[in-house]
Structure 1
């Protein structure tokens, strides 16, 4: 099943990266645009974008103009982002056809949850089951099976395993794992990851060998062929 494609439009590169990293961790394909004109070009060029996350205040062409232009041709779900929280702005967004309206600052995890909920309401489903190397993860039930047997994991162990599986074959630094599994506002010790990896490997038994240590960097999930 192909990944669902989300277009993130914001003139702040840091904000685009923050949102993109969290969406990619949930197995979305992410496209980025730095202004309204680039967003319009990408949207009509790609044709299969499932959802837009659209900032209001941007150079060249603001979010309102982008939304109005897209609504002339498509009912694709749109989440508006803004630093302003006035009621009139929200009403304007809904009048122009926005589906959700989120004020900055916001929690990236809450934003991703809104994306998933909006796609479900729109009848667009993300892949719910991921299987690799005898490990099967049911994302809708938050459950894991290994060779057909249910595996009991803590919430963080589950999120860590899912992140590894969805980024299999990629060397992941401890900082990147912290940012995506423990959230960007987590200022803990990177050894937290080592502790969780040790517990996860033990619970996975022979499959724990899939989580390979990348010395001096972090880990890579690399299942055997």
Structure 2
């Protein structure tokens, strides 16, 4: 059960959903702050510290994607987007905007609580060790990546994904293994979450993201770090 100090910001314009979800998550031990608009959510983030943001994509005024980009631009705060349509581009758009995970309506409080806990576990410090990858220095003990001495800004999820691949030392890591190890739950064949994060990671660490030389795709299996990197 999470500690009471674990604070979640819920940005949801439907008052009934917001109230029901707040009560259910409070029963799970979370401290909930609510905002009905993207503007209110961003304003709250200026005043209070939260551990996770739950963000509806369909908001009045500033839409959820814009809010997601704004939150991500401020740092690595974990974001879970809420969408009503899992079979459209909404999911991919939310992940591309910087979300770490997604859930679909109707929401199940127990499942959502498990997703939040998984994000919080990923925020825990990894074991001390260092890796080099091409021109990168990866420091799990500091949760940081340097390129030629300059910091590369990754989200916690992107960093965890990179360290899982790097620690495999060139061996193929399957999509299923990465989903389980990084997100701590199964997606029943839905690899959009992983593939979008791989694209985001490549944009930050690859010299040419369209022709990756560090994080390689192994067709039909998964991903691997280039041997000799």
TM-score calculated relative to the size of structure 1: 0.52
Matched, 1:69 2:70: yes
In 2, Cα distance between the equivalents of 1:71 and 1:106? 23
Partner in structure 1 of residue 215 of structure 2: none
Query: Secondary structure at the residue paired with 2:93?
Result: helix
CA distance in 1, matches of 2:55, 2:103: 10
Deviation at 1:26, TM superposition (A): 2.1
| Number of the residue aligned with 2:99 | 98
Whether the aligned pair in 1 keeps the contact of 2:53 and 2:77 (CA below 8 Å) is: yes
Determine whether 1:7 maps to 2:26. Answer: no
Aligned pairs for 1:140-179 within 5 A = none
* 3-state SS in 2 of match to 1:113: helix
- Paired residue for 1:113? 114
What is the root-mean-square deviation in Å for CA atoms of aligned residues? 1.6
Deviations 1:67-115 (A, max 9, x none): 1111111211010001122342211111111011111112111111111
Bigger fraction of residues in helix = 1
Tell which structure's C-alpha radius of gyration is larger. 1
CA contact 2:6–2:31 (8 Å) conserved in 1: yes
Structure 2: runs of 5 or more not aligned: 126-229
Cα displacement string for residues 166-212 of structure 1 (whole angstroms, at most 9, x for unaligned residues): xxxxxxxxxxxxxxxxxxxxxxxxxxxxxxxxxxxxxxxxxxxxxxx
C-alpha separation in 1, matches of 2:117 and 2:42: 23
With normalisation by structure 2, the TM-score equals 0.51
Find the counterpart in structure 2 of residue 54 from structure 1. Answer: 55
Report the Cα distance in structure 2 between the residues aligned to 1:55 and 1:35, rounded to whole angstroms.
9
Deviation beyond 6 Å, 4+ runs, structure 1: none
Q: Secondary structure at the match of 1:84?
A: coil
2:76 partner SS: coil
User: Would you say the 8 A contact 1:6–1:28 is kept in 2?
Assistant: yes
Question: Which residue of the partner structure matches residue 43 of structure 2?
Answer: 41
Give aligned pairs, total: 123
Give 3-state SS (helix, strand or coil) of 1:101's partner. strand
Check whether the contact 2:4–2:30 (CA below 8 A) recurs between aligned residues. no
